[in-house]
């Protein structure tokens, strides 16, 4: 068995450049840079200068067929993730797609179905936050039932501040035709993924969105969504890109405990001594008065553990790259299988669709209706071609 995966990087922008640096610095065991591809001559020059000896391509198909790479990562605009993923897999090249897995469910589903037809190839997605040890621990705690059945979850994630200069930096940014949306597709996919990874996939969504709030852009940069998981379980998700002193606060209430995460770094985990309904059955209003006046030893009701876990710059991305390489080499299970990418795309689309229709929409919405309404926006914008189904 080879002990190294040669990665082809498609797109040497901010993310691609970061991955090249991590690999070149030896921070990713079992991975080397096989080749770099970029359509921009200036970036190809930079690649050659920064990574001497690494083959550089202008065309990704040429790179895929060169024999220089065992796998690729697609650090390209969102719309291209599915087609480049399929281009690689169809040539026997393992594919790690950047998030999101696509702009709309039809194209993400197509990629995922194609990958499923190639089970011998590794298909992953760059959900680097799944490597955050804090969220890994919280997922374990919830999955093990330590806070009971999840009844409600609420995330405010507004640490995605982006100034006008960011939006002006590329013609495709924050457009319907070039990027396919705003904060839901670009900044918040990590939280849309972690939320569903830990708390499950909702059944329906009702959302209010703001488009171009305080920014000269067409797409959403403000989201307030209310989701329904069935059986009375709800959640809310709030994000925006204009809160310079941003909030990152995630609360999960279970019927036997609770988790409150601040800044994706610290979590307070409350574990009830008994299921809440049993605590309730044994107490009356006198107990409530004693409880709130501090006369009850809280330790008789619950324990609270503060967990602080972080990761240094690059560790999460290196971790996904290494895990992907190990899956290629020895079948180590993927932390972020590519097929999981559909959940974030579907939820982001459902949030858009609810806003566009002004009503609650099921998570299994009409994919073609979504694409038709997206294309309406692309045509109105007039800068990019509409997408084919």
DSSP 103-119: SSHHHHHHHHHHHHT-T
Quick check: 232 binds its own copies (CB under 8 A)?
A: yes
Output the six-digit token pair for 301: 């009701």
Quick check: 114 binds its own copies (CB under 8 A)?
A: no
Which x/- pattern over 275-304 shows residues binding its own copies (rule: CB under 8 A)?
Answer: -xx-xxxxxxx-xx--x---------xx-x
Stretch that binds its own copies, among 17-25, 125-133, 159-167, 193-201 (CB under 8 A): 159-167
On whether the CB atoms of residues 84 and 73 are closer than 8 A, the answer is no
Quick check: 172 binds its own copies (CB under 8 A)?
A: no
Helix (H, G, I), strand (E, B) or coil at 279: helix
Instruction: Name every residue whose Cβ is closer than 8 Å to that of residue 147 and which is 6 or more positions away in sequence.
Output: 141, 252, 253, 254, 256, 257, 258, 259, 269, 270, 271
Sign of CA dihedral 141, 301, 149, 252: negative
Stretch that binds its own copies, among 68-76, 87-95, 146-154, 377-385 (CB under 8 A): 146-154
Cα Rg of the chain (Å, integer): 23
Position among 163, 330, 379, 380 found at the interface with its own copies (CB under 8 A): 163
Helix (H, G, I), strand (E, B) or coil at 347: helix
Q: Which residues pair with 95 in a beta bridge?
A: 72, 123
How far is Cα 389 from Cα 387, in angstroms, rounded to an integer? 6
How far is Cα 12 from Cα 14, in angstroms, rounded to an integer? 7
To its own copies, the closest distance from the beta carbon of 327 in angstroms equals 31
To its own copies, the closest distance from the beta carbon of 169 in angstroms equals 6
To its own copies, the closest distance from the beta carbon of 178 in angstroms equals 17
Position among 53, 119, 165, 382 found at the interface with its own copies (CB under 8 A): 165
Burial bucket for residue 382 (CB in 10 Å: 0-12, 13-18, 19+): exposed
Position among 65, 110, 255, 381 found at the interface with its own copies (CB under 8 A): 255
Position among 236, 263, 386, 387 found at the interface with its own copies (CB under 8 A): 236
Stretch that binds its own copies, among 240-248, 322-330, 331-339, 369-377 (CB under 8 A): 240-248
On whether the CB atoms of residues 177 and 381 are closer than 8 A, the answer is yes
Quick check: 342 binds its own copies (CB under 8 A)?
A: no
Instruction: Name every residue whose Cβ is closer than 8 Å to that of residue 362 and which is 6 or more positions away in sequence.
Output: 203, 204, 350
Stretch that binds its own copies, among 136-144, 236-244, 325-333, 380-388 (CB under 8 A): 236-244
How far is Cα 152 from Cα 149, in angstroms, rounded to an integer? 9
**Size of interface with its own copies, in residues (CB under 8 A):** 60
Nearest to 158 by CA among 83, 230, 53, 250: 250
Stretch that binds its own copies, among 81-89, 129-137, 152-160, 329-337 (CB under 8 A): 152-160
Quick check: 142 binds its own copies (CB under 8 A)?
A: no
- Residue ranges in contact with its own copies by CB under 8 A: 151-152, 154, 156, 158, 161-166, 168-169, 206, 208, 210, 213-215, 222, 224, 226, 228, 232, 234-236, 238, 240, 242-245, 247, 249, 251, 253, 255, 258, 260, 270, 272, 276-277, 279-285, 287-288, 291, 301-302, 304, 358-360
């Amino acid at each position: 068995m080879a002990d190294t995966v040669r990665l082809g990087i498609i797109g040497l922008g901010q993310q691609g450049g970061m991955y090249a640096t991590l690999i070149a610095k030896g921070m990713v065991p079992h991975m080397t840079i096989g080749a770099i591809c970029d359509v921009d001559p200036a970036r190809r020059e930079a690649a050659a200068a920064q990574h001497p000896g690494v083959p550089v391509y202008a065309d990704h198909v040429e790179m895929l067929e060169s024999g220089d790479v065992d796998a690729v990562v697609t650090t390209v605009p969102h719309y291209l993730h599915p087609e480049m993923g399929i281009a690689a897999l169809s040539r026997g090249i393992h594919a790690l797609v950047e998030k999101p897995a696509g702009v709309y469910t039809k194209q993400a589903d197509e990629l995922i179905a194609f990958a499923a037809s190639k089970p011998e190839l590794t298909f992953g997605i760059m959900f680097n936050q799944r490597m955050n040890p804090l969220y890994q621990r919280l997922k374990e705690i919830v999955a093990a039932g330590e806070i009971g059945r999840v009844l409600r979850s609420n995330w405010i994630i507004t640490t995605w501040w982006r100034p006008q200069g960011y939006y002006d930096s590329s013609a495709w940014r924050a457009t319907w035709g070039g990027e396919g949306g705003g904060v839901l597709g670009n900044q918040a996919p990590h939280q849309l993924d972690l939320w569903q990874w830990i708390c499950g996939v909702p059944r329906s969504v009702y959302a209010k969105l703001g488009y171009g709030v305080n920014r000269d852009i067409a797409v959403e940069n403000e989201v307030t969504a209310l989701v329904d998981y069935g059986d009375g379980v709800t959640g809310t998700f709030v994000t925006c890109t204009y809160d310079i002193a941003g909030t990152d606060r995630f609360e999960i209430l279970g019927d036997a405990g609770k988790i409150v995460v601040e800044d994706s770094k610290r979590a307070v985990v409350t574990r009830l001594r008994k299921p809440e309904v049993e605590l309730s059955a044994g107490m009356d209003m006198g107990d409530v008065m004693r409880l709130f006046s501090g006369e009850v030893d809280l330790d008789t009701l619950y324990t609270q553990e503060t967990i602080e876990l972080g990761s240094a710059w690059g560790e999460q991305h290196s971790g996904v790259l290494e895990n992907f390489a190990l899956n290629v080499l020895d079948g180590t299970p993927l932390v972020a299988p590519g097929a999981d990418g559909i959940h974030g795309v579907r939820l982001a689309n459902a949030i858009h669709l609810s806003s566009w229709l002004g009503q609650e929409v099921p998570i299994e919405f009409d994919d073609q209706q979504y694409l038709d309404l997206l294309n309406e926006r692309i045509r109105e914008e007039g800068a990019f071609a509409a997408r084919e189904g």
